[in-house]
Amino acid sequence: MAIVKLEGISKKYGDFIALDHLDLTVEKGEFLTLLGPSGSGKTTLLNIIAGMIQPSSGAIRIDGRDVTNLPTRQRGLGMVFQNYALMPHMSVFENVAFPLRVRRAREEDIRTSVSEVLKIVNLLDFARRKPHELSGGQQQRVAIARCLVYKPGLILMDEPLGALDKNLREQLQFEIKRLHSELGVTILYVTHDQEEALALSDRIILMNNGRVEQLGTPHDLYFHPQTVFAAQFLGESNVLAATVAGHDGEDQILNGKIGAIRSRPTSIAAGTEATVIVRPENIRRLRPGEHLSNEISGDLIETTFVGDATKYYVKTDNDTIIILKQLANAIPEDAGDKRVRIGWAAEHTLVLQKNV
């Protein structure tokens, strides 16, 4: 069942098109993420749903009701902000009680409900504190409690972990994920952090230049990117230009600058220009005598150790740089041999039609 339905939403600022005819459905109970670089329109979209920005055209439906011209306060949503937006002069208790007071709840009901949600986010002992007496992570948990307490149909989260350091961010990611699955709330989440999006979401909407670049599960987006942008935004990619040449047995053959590339068969016709994408983690250095469907020789020009993995930059004999990534080895590999042979399996060659 759809909680939110956007129909042909556009937003123009003068000549600049922030959102270009966007359709979108948020299903009840799902965790949907708007992912994209800054300026892609994800925050504009969130603010349009919240009612803080009026769309230039299109309609917004929440629970089947057209709310396009309804003010923010009548839309019955919840929102979590990057800077927490807790009322600095109110205690944690009063902050969480605020939406209930707006709804004129009875005093004893307020006390029970607030205690209940504070217990859920493990902050019951902090009820009397002022926000500035809490850490960033705790403040954001208060902000989340403030949303949960009045059970809005949809909770909007605008880069809620953006102001936290890495460890806290992962901890709170886990917490948000837990609340989502335990309470069955519907969350529309905005982030530019691909790892966060992959870790949390049921579905991801990848946005670029005010349009939906690709919509799908995290798995889909990562393993079946439909555009070069998607491939490059989620994870790392080697992008190579090639032309579809034909078939050889099970494999499709493409001709590129680095020579023949083998992939699994696609529906792209022979002679068509295509873009080939290979993930660095799918390429590896080949031992002598080892063979893969795609093989290439080159010089190792740079090795970067990034903790869990080591990245190798290989310059092929026809001047293409290919990046590969391997799980880091506690024993450093011999750096002496500059000449390397690298390869990847045909099923790891992603072929995209050119200009998509």
DSSP letter at 56 equals S
Q: How far is the CB of 100 from another protein (least distance, A)?
A: 9
Site track 85-104 with another protein (rule: CB under 8 A), x = hit: x-xxx--------xx--xx-
Q: How far is the CB of 33 from another protein (least distance, A)?
A: 19
Cα–Cα distance for residue pair 15/210, rounded to 1 Å: 13
Query: Cβ–Cβ contacts within 10 Å for residue 87, how many?
Result: 12
166 binds another protein (CB under 8 A): no
Site track 140-159 with another protein (rule: CB under 8 A), x = hit: ------x---x-----x---
> For 345, what's the count of Cα atoms within 13 Å in the CB-facing half-sphere?
4
Residue list 216-235, contact with another protein (CB under 8 A): none
Query: Would you say 80 or 324 has its CB closer to another protein?
Result: 80
Residues 6+ apart with CB under 8 A from 270: 244, 245, 246
* Options 9, 79, 144, 268; binder of another protein; rule CB under 8 A: 79
> For 132, what's the count of Cα atoms within 13 Å in the CB-facing half-sphere?
4
Query: Would you say 136 or 256 has its CB closer to another protein?
Result: 136
- Dump the DSSP string for 270-297: TT-EEEEEE-GGG-EEPPTT---SEEEE
Query: Would you say 50 or 276 has its CB closer to another protein?
Result: 50
* Structural tokens at position 269: 């016709």
Piece in contact with another protein (CB under 8 A), picked from 28-36, 68-76, 231-239, 269-277: 68-76
Piece in contact with another protein (CB under 8 A), picked from 69-77, 115-123, 241-249, 281-289: 69-77
Query: Would you say 78 or 216 has its CB closer to another protein?
Result: 78
**321, 314, 278, 306: CA torsion to nearest 10:** -110
Query: Would you say 52 or 321 has its CB closer to another protein?
Result: 52
Q: Which of 123, 284, 197 lies closest to 213 in space, CA to CA?
A: 197
45 binds another protein (CB under 8 A): no
Q: How far is the CB of 121 from another protein (least distance, A)?
A: 17
Q: How far is the CB of 165 from another protein (least distance, A)?
A: 21
Residues 6+ apart with CB under 8 A from 180: 31, 187, 200
Residues 6+ apart with CB under 8 A from 199: 173, 177, 218
287 binds another protein (CB under 8 A): no
* Options 54, 74, 122, 318; binder of another protein; rule CB under 8 A: 74
State how beta strands 203-208 and 187-191 pair. Answer: unpaired
The residues that touch another protein, with contacts defined as CB under 8 A, are 50, 52, 71-79, 81, 83, 85, 87-89, 98-99, 102-103, 132, 146, 150, 156
